[in-house]
Amino acid sequence: MCGIVGYVGKQNAVAIILEGLKRLEYRGYDSAGVCVEKGRKLDVVKKTGRVDRLAKEVAKSRLSGTTGIGHTRWATHGGVTDANAHPHVSSDGRFALIHNGVIENYAQMKKFLLGKGYTFKSETDTEVLCNLIAYHYAKEPKRAKGPSRFVESVRKTLRHVEGTYGIAVLCVDFPGEIVGARKASPLILGVGDQEYILASDASALVSRTQNVVYLKDGEIAHLTPKAFSISTLDQDDVSPVVDTITWSVSDAEKGAHAHFMEKEIFEQPTALENAMRGRFSADGSTAQFGGLNITPGEFREIERFMFCACGTAWHACLVTEHLIERFARIPVEVDYASEFRYRNSPLHPRTLFFVMSQSGETIDTLAALREAKRKGYRVMAVNNVVGSSIAREADGGIYQHVGPEVGVASTKAFTSQLLIGAMIALYLARMRDMSFSDGVEYVEALKGAPDLVRHALKQAPRIREIARKYAGYHDMLFLGRLSLFPLALEGALKLKEISYIHAEGYPAAEMKHGPIALISEKCPAVFFAPKSEIFSKIVSSMQEIKARKGPIIAIATEGVELPKGVADDVIPIPDCHEAVLPIVAAIPVQLLSYYIAVERGCDVDKPRNLAKSVTVE
Applying CB under 6 A, which residues contact ligand F6R? Answer: 310-313, 357-359, 362, 365, 409-410, 493, 497, 613-614
Contacts of residue 575, defined as CB under 8 A and 6 or more positions apart, other chains included, come to: 531, 557, 558, 559
Our CB check for ligand F6R shows the closer of 66 and 593 to be 593
Smallest gap from Cβ 18 to ligand F6R, in A, equals: 25
Smallest gap from Cβ 512 to ligand F6R, in A, equals: 28
Element (H, E) at 569: strand 569-573
Beta bridge partners of 526: 478, 553
Output the CA torsion 195→260→79→113 (10° steps): -20
Our CB check for ligand F6R shows the closer of 492 and 573 to be 492
CA–CA gap between residue 565 and residue 272 (Å, rounded): 36
Cα 60 to chain centroid, rounded = 34
> What are the φ and ψ backbone dihedral angles of 596, each rounded to 5 degrees?
-65, -45
Output the CA torsion 357→359→364→365 (10° steps): 30
CA–CA gap between residue 276 and residue 568 (Å, rounded): 37
380 HSE (CA, 13 A, CB side): 22
Our CB check for ligand F6R shows the closer of 169 and 492 to be 492
Sheet holding 475-480, edge to edge: 502-507, 475-480, 525-529, 552-557, 569-573
Our CB check for ligand F6R shows the closer of 134 and 424 to be 424
Known active-site residue 130: no
Sequence letter at residue 330: I
Known active-site residue 171: no
Q: How many CB atoms lie within 10 A of CB 316?
A: 30
Our CB check for ligand F6R shows the closer of 275 and 313 to be 313
Element (H, E) at 568: none
Smallest gap from Cβ 411 to ligand F6R, in A, equals: 8
Terminal Cα distance for the chain, rounded = 11
> What are the φ and ψ backbone dihedral angles of 181, each rounded to 5 degrees?
-155, 160
Smallest gap from Cβ 617 to ligand F6R, in A, equals: 13
Under a CB-based contact definition with an 8 Å cutoff, are residues 476 and 502 in contact? yes
Helices (H), 85-190: 106-115, 125-139, 149-159
* Position closest to ligand F6R via CB: 311
Element (H, E) at 462: helix 460-470
Our CB check for ligand F6R shows the closer of 169 and 385 to be 385
Our CB check for ligand F6R shows the closer of 72 and 358 to be 358
CA–CA gap between residue 456 and residue 453 (Å, rounded): 5
Catalytically annotated residue among 2, 35, 130, 576: 2
- Establish whether the linkage from the previous residue to 87 is cis, with ω within 30° of 0: yes
Catalytically annotated residue among 47, 494, 606, 612: 612
Smallest gap from Cβ 358 to ligand F6R, in A, equals: 3
Under a CB-based contact definition with an 8 Å cutoff, are residues 336 and 310 in contact? yes
Smallest gap from Cβ 587 to ligand F6R, in A, equals: 15
Smallest gap from Cβ 256 to ligand F6R, in A, equals: 23
CA–CA gap between residue 337 and residue 382 (Å, rounded): 14
- Which DSSP category does 287 fall into? B
Under a CB-based contact definition with an 8 Å cutoff, are residues 578 and 563 in contact? no
Under a CB-based contact definition with an 8 Å cutoff, are residues 515 and 502 in contact? no
Smallest gap from Cβ 381 to ligand F6R, in A, equals: 10
Our CB check for ligand F6R shows the closer of 129 and 261 to be 261
Our CB check for ligand F6R shows the closer of 101 and 574 to be 101
Strands 351-357 and 304-309: parallel
Smallest gap from Cβ 339 to ligand F6R, in A, equals: 14
Our CB check for ligand F6R shows the closer of 311 and 551 to be 311
CA–CA gap between residue 167 and residue 157 (Å, rounded): 12
Q: Which residues are catalytic?
A: 2, 612
